[in-house]
Amino acid sequence: MYKRNFIFLLLLVFGFMLIGCQDNNTIVDPGTDSDTEAMKTMVEEDSSLTSFDYNYDEEGLFKSLAKIDEVIYPFRVAVHARLVNLNFTVDIQGDTAYGTVTKSFEGTLFIEATYDPNASEPDTVIEKTFASTITRKIIFIKINHTPYPRRNWVIAAVSLPEGGTSSPNIDLMKVTVFLPNGDSLVINSPNDYYLRRGWGWWRSIPVIHPNETVTIKAEVYSEYADTDYVSLVYGANRWCHQRGKKLFELVSSTPNGTGFDKVYEQSFTAHNIPGFFHAVINAIPKQVLNDDSAPVESETWGIPYIITFGH
């Protein structure tokens, strides 16, 4: 009886081995049947890219109690942005491919405010909808020549994301990032500023250790004399929701034609959770927050960074 059971078990194991071999011989590259689709899937899944979305969306959850055409006095502001479309195009030139990612968002700007200039607490929430578009460039290189496109390409470098609403009345002109190691990033055109994703000669994505501080200087052109609402959101990704938010402080404002050249500064300290993140700068004119009927105007840049342990 024991001998019969032992033979049965051997046959069963052998059968499973045959099934396993058959499965291995029929493996296909999941979800990709072209180079373009493979690259798009990589873009949609790569945390060094997707972490922008988790900091662009501030998860504002206020209820709307808005009035119309009145001056308001804001206390707190949050942006909720929902991704509604991702368009990916790519130009493949031999073993290098140049991709462009365009993300369309439907957004809501929530403003906790009051209509009473003497009030010390908000008594209403203004809700303004808007549409925004964020673009960034991706460089891929080919490392294999298998029948499976997903195995052949890797992301070599990513540009910084930039975009916002269609308003021309406020523009981020230049951002300087002062890193804890003494290095700095000087950014004039985010879509032309590439950071290495592990391959190639480009500058690496900045690495920050827990509790290290980064200082950012943002140079803004604004058509409005009032101090703009320039915010910094950071610290969130798909798995980590320790989102932080700070307002930039106005350092200087100089008349320039019909508008003003302004310099803002702010710092943030990295938390202790490793991963890929983005520091997102969002510039909004003050009148958007003080007039409950003014449409949303904004410009947004993002800066990817890595939090890691050890030195």
CB count, 10 Å around CB of 138? 24
Query: For 49-65, what is each residue's pLDDT tens digit?
Result: 999 999 999 874 444 44
Kind of pairing, strands 299-307 and 207-208?
Answer: parallel
Q: How far is CA 291 from the centre of its chain?
A: 28
Rg of the Cα atoms in the chain: 25
From the list 245, 227, 231, the residue with the least C-alpha distance to 285 is: 227
Q: Read off the pLDDT band of 69 (50, 70, 90).
A: low
C-beta separation of 159 from 191 below 8 A:
yes
Contact 29, 150 (CB under 8 A): yes
**Both structure tokens of 239:** 């798995």
pLDDT value of position 310:
63
User: What's the mean pLDDT in 222-239?
Assistant: 93
Bridge partners, residue 146, by sequence: none
pLDDT for 262-279, tens place per residue? 999 999 999 999 999 999
Q: What is the DSSP letter of 296?
A: P
Question: Could you read off the pLDDT of 125-140 as tens digits, one per residue?
Answer: 889 999 999 999 999 9
CA angle 166, 169, 174 (to 5 degrees): 95
CB distance 193 to 160 below 8 Å: yes
The pLDDT value recorded for residue 201 is: 77
pLDDT tier at 11, thresholds 50, 70, 90: very low
Is 203's pLDDT higher than 80? yes
The pLDDT value recorded for residue 115 is 83
φ, ψ at 12 (rounded to 5°): -65, -45
Say how many residues make up the chain: 311
Predicted confidence (pLDDT) per residue in 17-52, tens digit: 333 333 333 334 444 469 999 999 999 999 999 999
* Calpha distance 60→243 (Å, rounded): 12
Q: What angle do CA 138, 140, 142 make, to 5 degrees?
A: 175
Q: What is the pTM of this model?
A: 0.84
Structural contact between residues 232 and 203, judged by C-beta atoms closer than 8 angstroms: no
pLDDT of residue 185: 97
Query: Has residue 10 got a pLDDT over 60?
Result: no
Residues 6+ apart with CB under 8 A from 10: none
